[in-house]
Amino acid sequence: MTQLMGRPILGLPDDLGSRSPFADLLVGARTALLALSVIAVPVLGLWVLTPYGDVTARGALRLACALWLLGHGAPLTRGPGGAPFTLTPLLLTAVSTGLLRRAGARAGARAPHGTGAWRAALPLGIGYLAVAALAVAECSGSEAVLAADPVTDLPVVAAVTAAGLAWGVLAGHGHPQPGLPAFLPAVLTDRLRSWAAAGWAPPRDATAALRRTAGSWLLGLLAAGGLLLTTAVALGTAGSTAAGLADGPAGVLGLLLACTLLLPNAVLWAAAYALGPGFAVGTGTTVSPVATHLGAVPEFPLFALLPTDGPGAAGQAVLAVMPLLAGVVPALLLGRAAAGRGTTRPWHPAGTALVAFAAVLTVSAAAAVAAWSAGGALGAGRMAALGPVPWQAALTAAGWSAAVVPPGALLARWLLTRTADRALPPTPAMARLTAWSTAARCPRLRRTLHDAVTRLATLHLDDT
């Protein structure tokens, strides 16, 4: 009786050691509804605050469904002519992907390795797509401001759902070390294994080092974009533009909501500006440190932050330093891993260079995907091209990272291995000092003295 009273009556089925596919189906639908509520609640709140709006509650809910679909990358159309509307609010994309990852991680941790994990994630995806189908059906009518098409939108939502759940399942099972592909010839496989045995290939922790190197470079570049955007907001006229465009407090809140949803897009646009190729705000326009050709743009607060001319020689020098500084920390991290800190032996310089150039390719691919996802269209004609160009962002990201990460990692590896070889050897005096610090009576003092002696014993000093 005590065990029954201690267990919640409406507990989840996995609390009892089992879970039905119907329960997973409901979890998938709940995940979709939770992601939808992130945009539906503020949209319905603005509808309530609008005093004389002619939009019904169903129209506001239909707009929230359209924005939710747009957050998955689903292309929508606007107006009677069917003008394309494909600018994805990446904040909604991050929320939906994060919720899908959490649901997939729970399913992966509960199910066994192999096909069982994917079989457990299948009902989650079906439940999520059921809510997406209802949202597409709601936005398919003629009354919708942003119209959806089931043929093109449902496959896009299904792809995002599968990617998020797969990411979660892999996170729930950990990241296994990849092996050599089975289709490689036996001669090439033996050669690769012999190189690995001779030290020409990095050890098995190279995957984690590659992930840290590429991730830190991308985070540094995003930090540079965020710094540029913050400076533009502080020095620009976005606030006064929003106050002039809005009609009352509800209008200001609506513009604030739209700018918040597009804030990650603006950071990526600013990062592309820091890289050098810049971005486009309409067909035939360019906003970059080298040249700025900008025509008439829609009245929107974020567009008020656009520069009207180039930054000048001093500004170009500052912008050129940002990608270089973003590559310093990844080079140091990779050099520290290659020096054998925490491993059995240092990497070979060839293996270090191999991981560095693999990080360059990873950064280039991530920059292309980020530029593609941050852009889109707001209509036909001139506003059909918005955002950075993917291939330009990929090439410039590869160039900046290749100029800093491989030589910086090799230099850091050489310095760390060189100083490690010149560590002070243990002496009788140092041994007596260690014993004295260990024999201290106060535990806190003993721990402090022991740490100080350990650091002193491992100082990297010259023999002279």
Pairing of strands 292-293, 286-287: antiparallel
Task: Say which residue the tokens 């009518």 belong to.
Answer: 141
Q: Give the other-Cβ count within 10 Å of 242's Cβ.
A: 20
This prediction has a pTM of: 0.80
Tokens of 282: 């309409």
Residues 4-13 have a mean pLDDT of 40
Least confident stretch, 140-154, 272-286, 289-303: 289-303
Tell me the pLDDT band of 11, cut-offs 50, 70 and 90. very low
- Which segments of 282-372 are extended strands (E)? 286-287, 292-293
pLDDT at 1: 39
Q: What is the pLDDT of residues 397-428, one digit of tens each?
A: 999 999 999 999 999 888 888 765 544 455 55
Residues 202-208 have a mean pLDDT of 70
DSSP string computed for 170-193: HHHH--PPP---TTS-HHHHHHHH
Q: What is the pLDDT of residues 379-391, one digit of tens each?
A: 887 888 899 999 9
Q: Is the pLDDT of residue 198 over 80?
A: no
Listed ranges 115-119, 206-210, 258-262, 345-349; the one with the highest mean pLDDT: 258-262
Are 387 and 376 in contact by the 8 Å Cβ rule? The answer is yes
The number of angstroms, rounded, from the C-alpha of 458 to the middle of its chain's C-alpha atoms is 38
**For residues 300 and 241, what is the distance between their CA atoms, to the nearest angstrom?**
7
Q: For the chain, what are the domain ranges? A: 8-173, 199-421, 428-457
**For residues 271 and 84, what is the distance between their CA atoms, to the nearest angstrom?**
26
Tell me what percent of the residues of the chain surpass a pLDDT of 70: 72
Regarding predicted confidence, which is higher, 413 or 461?
Answer: 413
Residues 264-268 have a mean pLDDT of 94
Tell me the pLDDT band of 178, cut-offs 50, 70 and 90. very low
Tokens of 296: 């008439």
pLDDT at 235: 77
